[in-house]
């Protein structure tokens, strides 16, 4: 058991459930903060099972995770709730599709995310880091909500690499529509997660349908325009997807498929990367020793300029800070699957129809897998070989691992190093963010930090 004085040295966390909750208590808690539904024993056990509306299992065991995400992938499709929430915005795209329809899209999109192409997109990230630093400099000397700044910065990046060139694409309108959608969809209820039938009324599913329609129309027009105008000198993701084809079937994406996938990249890649950066900055402010070490590294590599892709090999400690932020506050903190076949996980029976959840937040804080797991310690990642692949899943794992993982990590390190080289961040007393899991793991109230120029 932690004793009080040591708790003070731990970064923000929430108490997990210390007793089983009944259905209505679960329902109310789930609407407020899904993290509070995770039983505390999930940080000590490999698997916890129960029954609410349906039989459910939470899995925190690397071997079982490997089975769900890789070896028996076809028996664990994404849960209906994932599809329910996301289909209205992003159709049957890469994130949602299953089986052959997923496979051909993944094969067609993979080249766009090759190391070479992701590196070629780095100047967009460097430019966005520079603009972020300029905005933050204007607020230096006072408290700044770094979450808002990072949301603006990562939106800059993702819109520049999807629909760059401005062709008939109103970025602000798209940003508003996506934020409204995420806010509405985030109110996903526990009933959805546990798989209650569709006719059970959900109090709060309110999609912003007209904004969504307008956004799709605009995206389609931008895609058609690009087809006619031809690709940029440095191709962006739209150019690369337009050229992409499934090497097995030669199938190419039509306009609706291109649009759904580009909107998927925006929805899946924008807020998650902003959260990674906001939590990283919070942790740097929380531990000035780590911040100083990362700043020394960044200054030595960059001097006064913004980071570029060529600096990445010299920014290894900054990368460790990002890795550790993704462990403590994984933006996608809860993955959910529906079992379609009989199986055994950790010696326990899984039946078709069971909900199988991977509470990544609890996996990353499981005492069997991590020493002193609530402590912030980027040195855990000094040698990545020591980390069990399926004990650390900020990007999921197996064939459906996040296609944008290296894109996101490259972006996060470029932006974080640029900011640390130029500013000092300190906590604002009384403004500790609370981790709240609704759709993603967010710092409730934002990440307010006092910013001073270097
Ligand atoms: C730090 C930022 C990010 C985090 C934490 C993150 C996390 C994840 C996770 C956990 C999954 C797997 C979900 C599951 O198995 O249920 C996933 C899938 C996916 N992500 Fe990311 N993601 C990030 C950034 C991005 C970016 C930048 C893009 C695109 C530009 C992106 C596009 C996708 C897509 C398309 C999938 C579905 C892949 C498939 O099923 O084949 N993500 N992401």
* 389: in domain: yes
In a domain, 291, yes or no: yes
Evaluate whether residue 310 is within a structural domain.
Answer: yes
**pLDDT, tens digit, for every residue of 299-316?**
999 998 999 999 999 999
Q: What is the CATH number of the domain that holds 320?
A: 1.10.630.10
Average pLDDT, the chain: 88
| 380-433 pLDDT per residue, tens | 999 999 999 999 999 999 999 999 999 999 999 999 999 999 999 999 999 999
Rounded distance between C-alpha atoms, residue 52 and residue 26, angstroms: 9
| pLDDT over threshold 60, residue 323 | yes
Q: Is residue 14 part of a domain?
A: no
Q: List the residue whose alpha carbon is closest to atom 21 of ligand 1.
A: 402
Probe residue for ligand 1, chosen from 78, 114, 236, 404 as the CB with the greatest number of ligand atoms within 8 Å? 404
In total, how many domains does the chain have?
A: 1
Confidence of residue 268 (pLDDT cuts 50, 70, 90): confident
199 pLDDT more than 80: no
Q: Say what angle helices 288-302 and 316-328 make with each other, to 10 degrees.
A: 140
Residue 5 confidence class, pLDDT cut points 50, 70, 90: very low
Does residue 7 fall inside a structural domain? no
Q: Whose CA is nearest to atom 19 of ligand 1?
A: 402
Distance in Å, CA 330 to ligand 1 centroid: 12
- Distance from C-alpha of 50 to C-alpha of 9, rounded to nearest angstrom: 34
- Distance from the CA of 300 to the center of ligand 1, in angstroms? 32
402 CA distance to ligand 1 centroid (A)? Answer: 4
Q: Is residue 403 part of a domain?
A: yes
Nearest CA to ligand 1 atom 20: 402
In a domain, 410, yes or no: yes
Kindly report the protein residue whose alpha carbon is nearest to atom 16 of ligand 1.
335
Where does residue 24 rank: exposed (0-12), middle (13-18), buried (19+ CB within 10 A)? exposed
Q: Is residue 153 part of a domain?
A: yes
* Host domain of residue 378: 26-453
Please name the residues in contact with 233: beta carbons below 8 A apart, sequence gap of 6 or more.
Answer: none
pLDDT tens readout for residues 270-279: 899 999 999 9
List pLDDT tens digits, range 54-81. 888 999 999 999 999 999 999 999 987 7
Q: Which residues line ligand 1 (CB under 6 A)?
A: 78, 94-95, 106, 264-265, 268-269, 272-273, 276, 331-332, 335, 394-396, 400, 402-404, 407-408
How confident is the model over 18-37, as pLDDT tens digits?
776 666 676 667 667 778 88
């Amino acid at each position: 058991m932690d004793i009080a004085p040591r708790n003070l040295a731990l970064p923000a966390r929430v108490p997990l459930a210390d007793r089983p909750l009944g259905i209505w208590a679960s329902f109310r808690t789930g609407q407020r903060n899904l993290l509070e539904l995770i039983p505390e024993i999930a940080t000590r056990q490999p698997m916890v099972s129960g029954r609410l509306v349906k039989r459910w299992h939470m899995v925190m065991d690397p071997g079982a995770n490997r089975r769900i995400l890789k070896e028996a992938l076809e028996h664990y499709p994404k849960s209906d709730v994932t599809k329910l929430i996301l289909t209205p915005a992003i159709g049957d795209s890469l994130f949602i599709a299953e089986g052959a329809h997923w496979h051909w899209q993944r094969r067609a999109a993979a080249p766009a995310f090759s190391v070479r192409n992701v590196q070629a997109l780095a100047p967009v990230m460097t430019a966005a880091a520079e603009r972020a630093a300029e905005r933050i400099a204007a607020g230096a000397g006072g408290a700044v909500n770094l979450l808002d700044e990072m949301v603006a910065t990562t939106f800059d990046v993702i819109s520049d690499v999807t629909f760059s060139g401005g062709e008939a694409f109103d970025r602000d309108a798209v940003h508003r529509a996506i934020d409204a959608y995420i806010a509405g969809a985030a109110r996903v209820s526990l009933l959805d997660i546990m798989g209650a039938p569709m006719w059970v009324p959900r109090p709060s599913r309110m999609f912003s349908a007209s904004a969504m329609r307008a956004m799709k129309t605009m995206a389609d027009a931008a895609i058609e325009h690009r087809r006619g105008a031809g690709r940029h000198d440095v191709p962006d993701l739209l150019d690369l997807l337009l050229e992409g084809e499934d090497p097995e079937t030669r199938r190419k994406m039509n306009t609706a498929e291109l649009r759904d996938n580009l909107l998927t990249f925006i929805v899946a890649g924008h807020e998650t990367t902003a959260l990674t950066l906001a939590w990283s900055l919070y942790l740097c402010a929380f531990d000035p020793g780590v911040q100083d070490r990362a700043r020394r590294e960044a200054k030595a590599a960059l001097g006064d300029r913004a980071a570029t892709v060529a600096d990445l090999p010299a920014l290894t400690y900054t990368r460790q800070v990002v890795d550790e932020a993704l462990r403590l506050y994984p933006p996608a903190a809860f993955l959910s699957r529906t079992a379609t076949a009989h199986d055994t996980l950790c010696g326990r029976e899984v039946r078709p129809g069971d909900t199988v959840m991977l509470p990544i937040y609890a996996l990353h804080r499981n005492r069997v897998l991590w020493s002193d797991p609530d402590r912030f310690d980027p040195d855990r990642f000094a040698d990545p070989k020591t980390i069990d692949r399926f004990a650390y899943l900020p990007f999921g794992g197996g064939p459906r691992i996040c296609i944008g993982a290296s894109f996101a990590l490259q972006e996060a390190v470029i932006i974080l190093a640029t900011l640390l080289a130029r500013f000092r961040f300190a906590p604002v007393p009384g403004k500790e963010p609370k981790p709240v899991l609704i759709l993603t793991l967010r710092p409730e109230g934002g990440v307010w930090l006092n910013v001073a120029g270097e």
